[in-house]
Structure 1
């Protein structure tokens, strides 16, 4: 039923819960697992004014995020390989919900497994939710896994 399953991660606890579900689903379907980390753009206002150019500061931030992404996808790959699954690791740059949907389309993903914080009310409205945006716009099934 599912040949390629995407599990986006940001390294958070909800993502960890989703990883376990994604591995289970991939194992049941003998599917290839795609581990995706999205390096999110940072508003320019987040940088200090000073002697060091903002571009150097920006480079440090992007490199840290890329390192976090490599660590997060490598962890998924290690867990998946323990279950004899094929794994594809990827890091993309941009808005997470947009990149997740584009990745799913470009790689013929059959299902997406994502964690959620389970926010409701004002928290959800103010903060928005990458998972919610993906659920609303995805052309493939999205399994959401609530933390806890």
Structure 2
């Protein structure tokens, strides 16, 4: 039923439950798992992440986020690899919900699995804003996973 499953991550603890669910779903369907981290634009002096660095400090911020993304996707790949799953790791730049939806479209993703809360929304009582936007705008099924 599902050949390609996308699990976006921000590297936070709340994302861990969604990662485990995505791995389980990929195992059940013998699907390829896509691990995606989005470097989010941060307005600093009128610039945003992914734009040409205005200074060495700005470049350091983007590089730090990219390293965090590489670590987060590598952890997913390692965990999924324990189950013999094929994993595609990706880091994109932009607004998270837009990049998740664009990635899903470009890679013919069949389902998206993501946490209800991320790094910035752990203490919110409703769906995280990124998750909510993905659920509302996605053309493919989105499985949301609440952290235990």
Tell me which moved more, 109-118 or 4-13. 109-118
1:109 to partner: Cα distance: 0.1
- Unpaired runs of at least 5, structure 2: 48-52
Q: How do 1:120-131 residues align onto structure 2 when only pairs under 5 Å count?
A: 120=125, 129-131=129-131
Residue 100 of structure 1 corresponds to which residue in structure 2? 100
TM-score, normalised with respect to structure 1: 0.88
Q: Residues 14 and 145 of structure 1 are in contact (CA less than 8 Å); yes or no, is this contact kept in structure 2?
A: no
Q: How do 1:9-88 residues align onto structure 2 when only pairs under 5 Å count?
A: 9-45=9-45, 54-88=54-88
- Unpaired runs of at least 5, structure 1: 48-52
1:120 to partner: Cα distance: 2.9
Decide which structure has greater helix share. Answer: 1
TM-superposition CA deviations, 1:83-105 (whole Å, max 9, x none): 00000000000000000000000
TM-score, normalised with respect to structure 2: 0.88
The alignment of Structure 1 onto Structure 2 pairs a total of residues equal to: 138
Max radius of gyration: which structure?
A: 1
- What is the RMSD of the two structures over their aligned residues, measured on CA atoms? 1.9
Q: Which runs of 4+ in 1 moved over 4 A?
A: none
